[in-house]
Amino acid sequence: MSQALRHPEILDLARRDGKVTVEGLASHFGVTLQTIRRDLSDLADAGRLERVHGGAILPSGTMNIGYEERRLMNLREKQDIARICARHVPEDASLFIGIGTSTEAVAHELLAHRNMMVVTNNMNVANILVDNASCEINVAGGTLRRSDGGLVGTLTTETIARFKFDLAIIGCSALDEDGDLLDFDIREVGVSQTIMRHARRVFLVADHSKIARSAPARIASLAQVEALFTDRPLPDALGARCADWGVAVHCARAWDQTR
């Protein structure tokens, strides 16, 4: 396979898994380690990947990946995460569901839940939940972010501050080794912080690729979240922090293995 054909597939693998390794790619393509190292160096020079020891990750940068691309990334994993999250969402409850493709997956899994009152700043979530006749839907005002259907800004935070939710389900753009939830849009950060202040319980939904990424704006610490729903075991250091903080970690892979 030529370099021109390998490069797009390497990027697809990096988007799917969050990281690629030299040895794994060499085996996948049937080429030498040196060939893969050159490929990764070329992609890093072009700003498409960031080199790390033994491989490469998606670049941290200051811009998020496009919505349509994010929606398709790790789609199966997001669906698995959403299913286990929905099992922990009670009926007859008030919820806030935030911006993100993972939270949208959770909305799909809540279509059979009864007697919910949902507030959201995600137009996609509102449209999904229309099919649940027993769900009251309230859309927070604000500035529409056309790229992903999110509502952000001062009006959004003012609307959210009028409520006290039983449960908030949020996502993030990145989750670093210190346990900090990170994002790219400072306006969304303010909204997320308001959501967390006005919820009795907070669930975070984040697939494994978020741990391999970085973003410039800090939302909060994972210590402020009751439960994290993800698809792979956390790195040891982050897992230990969650245990110290009393944050429940629900891994979709572990749930699948118990079925």
Q: What is the pLDDT of residue 206?
A: 94
Q: How confident is the model at residue 81 (pLDDT cuts 50, 70, 90)?
A: very high
Q: Any idea which architecture 3-57 has in CATH?
A: Orthogonal Bundle (1.10)
Q: What is the pLDDT of residue 62?
A: 43
Domain range annotation of the chain = 3-57, 67-257
Proportion of the chain in helix, strand, coil states, percent, rounded to 5: 45, 25, 35
Buried b / exposed e across 165-201, counting CB within 10 Å, b at 16+? bbbbbbbbbbbbeebbbbbbbebbbbbbbbbbebbeb
Q: How confident is the model at residue 257 (pLDDT cuts 50, 70, 90)?
A: very low
If you ran DSSP here, which 8-state letter would residue 235 be given? P
Q: What is the pLDDT of residue 63?
A: 47
Tell whether pTM > 0.95: no
Query: How far is C-alpha 37 from the chain's CA centre?
Result: 29
Domain 67-257 of CATH type 3.40.50.300? no
Is residue 239 within 8 A of residue 217, CB to CB? The reply is: no
| Element spanning 105, H or E | helix 101-109
The amino acid occupying position 127 is N
Phi, psi of 178 (to 5 degrees): -80, -5
Sheet holding 94-97, edge to edge: 135-139, 116-120, 94-97, 167-170, 202-205, 227-230, 248-251
pLDDT digits (tens, 9 = 90+) for 107-164: 999 999 999 999 999 999 999 999 999 999 999 989 988 878 899 989 999 999 999 9
Q: What is the pLDDT of residue 68?
A: 58
Mean pLDDT value across residues 201-212: 90
**Is pLDDT at 258 greater than 60 in this prediction?**
no
pLDDT digits (tens, 9 = 90+) for 38-58: 999 998 877 778 888 889 887
